[in-house]
Amino acid sequence: MRLLQGLKTVLAWQTSARHIHRKATYFGQRVDGKLVKFRLSRFCYHKDVLQSTAFDVDAVLPLLRELQAPLDKPYTRQQAESIIHRTLNAKVHAEAALMDWITTKEVGLPIFHIKFNYHQTHISRSRAIIHSRIGPLVLARNAANYVGHSIISTSQEDSNSYYQVLMVPSILGFLPLGSLTVFCLNSEMSCLLHARHWLQVIPDTALLAPPQVMWILICKNWEKLSTEYDECAENRLLGLGHA
């Protein structure tokens, strides 16, 4: 009934504050002998609207071909250009992210809401869920369920398997690829990582970008990257005083 829903809307801050408190106070405890660490990284957010970046099909096409399976038919220029027609702008809504986070069962694996603003797309749903693991955002398989099966489809059920997508810096677009994991993080964090573990879509400009610009990295070796990220970014996690 609309009346009940309206009242629940009024009570939303009360409800979410109580749930967030319950979840947040779960951290710092020992569960099964292990200290539950706070894993909500502020690097998963960026406060500014994404800066637009020119889409360079000549930079994207070679990358697409490099990443696809050897026996597959090479991507055409038209296919590469099609990325721009499925381009999204994204930004993170703090309260929405927190509201989602409190509903997750996995501690330390927050789910973030990214709001997509469509320019040219046939996608009917207006959002995707992005799983954050350790710090860099990873476009998870759930995302496809939210943005439409017409774009991406997969039958993988392994929770560690992510959709293979290509995301273009600043203009977030995606395209099914081979068997790679995609990350997006800001350029400040990209400076912390060594290039040997990942390919950057536009390497010449990434490190020069302002830190609030979100960059998309395509990783060949998730485990090495995650370990490296952990070591570099340990002191940058929320609650340790780094702004």
Residues engaged in binding other proteins (CB under 8 A): 1-18, 20-21, 24-26, 28-29, 38, 40, 42, 45, 47-49, 91-96, 98-99, 113, 115, 117, 126-127, 238-239, 243
Nearer to other proteins, 5 or 78 (CB): 5
CA dist 136 and 133 (Å) reads: 6
Query: Do 57 and 51 form a contact (C-beta atoms < 8 A)?
Result: no
Please state the length of the chain.
Answer: 243
Nearer to other proteins, 33 or 70 (CB): 33
Task: Report in angstroms how near the CB of residue 128 gets to other proteins at its nearest.
Answer: 13
Point out which residues pair with 129 in neighbouring strands. 113
CA dist 223 and 134 (Å) reads: 11
Instruction: Name the strand (E) or helix (H) holding 127.
Output: strand 127-132
Listing DSSP states for 209-235 in one string gives: S-TTSEEEEEES-HHHHHHHHHHHHGG
Nearer to other proteins, 210 or 239 (CB): 239
Task: Report in angstroms how near the CB of residue 107 gets to other proteins at its nearest.
Answer: 14
Task: Report in angstroms how near the CB of residue 129 gets to other proteins at its nearest.
Answer: 12
Task: Report in angstroms how near the CB of residue 192 gets to other proteins at its nearest.
Answer: 20
Nearer to other proteins, 22 or 85 (CB): 22
First to last CA, the chain: 44
Task: Report in angstroms how near the CB of residue 39 gets to other proteins at its nearest.
Answer: 11
CA dist 190 and 211 (Å) reads: 9
CA dist 201 and 171 (Å) reads: 12
Nearer to other proteins, 10 or 71 (CB): 10
